[in-house]
Amino acid sequence: MTTPAAGPPAATSSMDLTDQGALLARLRAGDPGAFEELVKLTQDRLYAVALRMMGRPEDAMDAVQEAYLSAFKALGKFEGGSSLSTWLHRITVNACLMKLRSRRRRPEVHVDDLLPAFGEDGHQAKPSPAWKPDGELGIETRELHRLVRARIDELPEPLREVLLLRDVEGMNTQMTAELLGITVSMVKTRLHRARMALKALLEPHFTEKTP
């Protein structure tokens, strides 16, 4: 790597590695400028991925840094079956998952207590309250996002991971299953439980308070 002073993120920074073949050849040949070029081209997109998953900028930065380090070490194993950008995305998501698992967290909620209950006739034991429209919440968007993120972080790890990958990152069920080393059926079950638990955690903020 060359070591000129880092400038601001390039406005043209892009994940669109149109000349992947040439860059990959330089990377494999050990061209010191090639990896830096790869970082410049991909850092904005990978940072955005990490920020979505980690929530905090400092954690996102650490995760991306670790992702690039892992990528650098694994370059020799990259066979070109997927695009460089897909490969880097997956490495970044993995780095985020590792960091999330090691992060000191507040106590997790007991999910079973948050799931809907049913009577013997199969109908809801308690009627579900209607949620107020966003405009009637009396809470600023930024504060609302902070609140929701904090509730997501209270979910048990296996549920939170699936929720982040499926609903936030938009990964499909198959890819999520492969990444987490679980079955497709488990991904579906965990996602549904995660959504129901998160809904129950958010509900007090979105419904009329019972007198």
Partner 1 sequence: MTAHSPLTCRQLFDFLADYVDGTLAPAQRAEFERHMGACPSCVAYVDGYRRTIELGKAACCGDHPDRPPAAPEGLLNAVRSALRRETEP
Contact between 125 and 117 under an 8 Å Cβ cutoff? The reply is yes
**CB of residue 42 vs partner 1: minimum separation in angstroms?**
9
Please provide residue 118's backbone torsions phi and psi, each rounded to the nearest 5 degrees. Answer: -125, 150
Please provide residue 124's backbone torsions phi and psi, each rounded to the nearest 5 degrees. Answer: -60, 135
**CB of residue 47 vs partner 1: minimum separation in angstroms?**
4
**CB of residue 54 vs partner 1: minimum separation in angstroms?**
9
Kindly tell me which of 36 and 178 has the beta carbon lying closer to partner 1: 36
List helix spans (H) across the chain: 20-28, 32-54, 57-74, 84-102, 141-152, 157-163, 173-180, 184-206
Would you give the distance in Å from CA 59 to the centre of its chain?
12
**CB of residue 164 vs partner 1: minimum separation in angstroms?**
7
Would you give the distance in Å from CA 211 to the centre of its chain?
38
Kindly tell me which of 102 and 141 has the beta carbon lying closer to partner 1: 141
User: What does the binding site for partner 1 look like in residue numbers (CB under 8 A)?
Assistant: 1, 3, 5-9, 13, 35-36, 39-40, 43-48, 51-53, 55, 57, 61, 64-65, 68-69, 72-73, 116, 118, 121-124, 127-131, 141-142, 144-149, 152, 163-164, 167-168, 188, 191-192, 195-196, 198-199, 202-203, 206
**CB of residue 66 vs partner 1: minimum separation in angstroms?**
8
Contact between 27 and 21 under an 8 Å Cβ cutoff? The reply is no
Kindly tell me which of 45 and 89 has the beta carbon lying closer to partner 1: 45
Q: Could you give the CA distance from residue 179 to residue 96 in angstroms, rounded to a whole number?
A: 12
Kindly tell me which of 104 and 123 has the beta carbon lying closer to partner 1: 123
Kindly tell me which of 61 and 180 has the beta carbon lying closer to partner 1: 61
Kindly tell me which of 81 and 119 has the beta carbon lying closer to partner 1: 119
- Compute the Cα dihedral for 57, 60, 66, 67 and give only its sign: negative
**CB of residue 8 vs partner 1: minimum separation in angstroms?**
5
Q: What is residue 37's DSSP assignment?
A: H
